[in-house]
Amino acid sequence: MQMRMQVPMLPILKGMMWQMIGSLLVTIMLLLSIAYLIKVMLLQKKVDKMRSDFVHTMIHELKRPVQTLKMCVSVFSAQKINTEKADSERTDEKDENALIMETVREESDNLTAYLAKLREVIRAEEHIPLQITSFDIHAALQNLVAVYRKNRQKEVNVSLDYQRTSDRMMGDRDLLLNVVSNLMENSVKYSGDIVNIHVACRDTEKGEVMISVSDNGIGISPDEQQRVWTKFYRSNAYPDMMQPGIGLGLSFVDMIVKAHGGRKMMQ
């Protein structure tokens, strides 16, 4: 007995062909998506470079008028002293001029500080190598505390609680001190007329160095505690307490801490 079975190959081949065509189309779409993603990444990199170049140029160009402004203030202040010695009349006018010159000086100092902070943020973004050295963190914190105790605009009380077994640590000394200084500066800005700042430094169980800054200021709401680390973010929760600034201080703190392999916390 013979049995014969004929299998039609044409429908099978047609089905395989459509599967192959579908697979080919999916592959082409994936390749196009990857090519588009690469194009977007290259464009983003180009935009980032243009932004960085623009910021560097802006900083460079603004430094000259600021320095010129400060020089003019110094000259006018010197002339004012000479004039006061020669003539003691027109007291009210002189007091008004002195107030104007003091305001100009303060604003030029603020602008200089903004430019310096912007330069620090750009440096951190561009991953400039850290200058890692062994330095005396205890003495550095003591000096920083002494500087803030001399604040002339407010009554600033600063305490330092140092509990480490060693005075030395590894890190970029200037950048780490800028981090602590930024936090202390915020404490002064967002507190009342009497500012109480507590700086603590201790070793953790993991062998890390923990530096904390606490104060009696207005605080930050839980809803905003994550957003304040974003560049240029400024809270509007306390409009009466708004201070001059551009919202770069805490983003700089975040970048420098991460660059050292550390982490930040806020309570």
- Same domain? For 141 and 24 the reply is no
Give yes or no: residues 150 and 219 share one domain: yes
Number of domains in the chain: 2
Q: Which one of 81, 112, 128 terminates a domain?
A: 128
The distance of Cα 35 from the centroid of its chain, to the nearest Å, equals 34
Bridge partners of 172, per DSSP, are 132
Query: Is residue 7 included in any domain, yes or no?
Result: no
Q: In terms of pTM, does the model score above 0.85?
A: no
Residue 54 belongs to domain spanning: 12-128
With respect to residue 265, please indicate whether it lies within any of the assigned structural domains.
no
My answer on whether 124 and 143 are in the same domain is no
Q: Are residues 82 and 159 in the same domain?
A: no
Of 128, 155, 182, which one is at a domain's C-terminal end?
A: 128
**How confident is the prediction along the chain (267 residues), in pLDDT tens digits per residue?**
455 555 555 565 566 667 777 777 778 887 777 877 777 777 777 666 656 655 655 565 566 666 666 666 666 666 655 555 555 555 555 566 666 666 667 667 667 766 776 776 666 666 667 889 999 999 999 999 988 888 667 888 999 999 999 999 999 998 899 899 889 988 888 888 889 999 999 999 888 999 999 998 887 777 777 777 777 777 665 555 556 566 677 888 888 888 888 988 887
Same domain for 98 and 54: yes
